[in-house]
Amino acid sequence: MPQVDYQSVLPHPAEAVFDLVADVERYPEFLPGWQAARIVDRQDNVLTVEQTLGGWGFGWRFHTRATLDRPASIHIETEEHPFERLSELWRFEALDDSRTRLVLHADYQLNDFPLHRLMHAVLEEALRETMEAFRQRADEKL
């Protein structure tokens, strides 16, 4: 199963960075490829999110389950098409009161193996762009 790891140090407090990443319904405002995102269910610290991604020559609508552990981590999972499995773990490591190491670990498997080979590079680039978009959004908003 392909894995992707990215990290970035942001000059912002961990709680603020966590809140920015947890605000999923704002993703279409600044994340590349996000066309829509809405919370369809909320049970304590667990969100079910319907999202629509498009671009890169493809388009998908699927649901994810996000488990929020403020301010330490967000774990996102789905087994809906086009994924056989997707697991993303965002960690927010406070380096001090004003700096955070934002870490993304993702592993995934797409349903269709030929598509999986083709999409690996596309998904890897999309995740890299997502990390950069969060860094830019934090610099603008925090």
Give me the residues paired with residue 106 across strands. 4, 88
Six-digit token string for 125: 């680039």
| Backbone phi, psi, residue 121, to 5° | -65, -40
Name the percent of the chain lying above pLDDT 90: 71
pLDDT given for residue 31 in this prediction? 93
Domains along the chain with CATH numbers: 3-141 (3.30.530.20)
pLDDT tier at 53, thresholds 50, 70, 90? confident
Total count of residues recorded for the chain:
142
3-state secondary structure of 85: strand
8-42 pLDDT, tens digit each: 999 999 999 999 999 999 999 999 889 999 999 99
Is residue 28 within 8 A of residue 37, CB to CB? The reply is yes
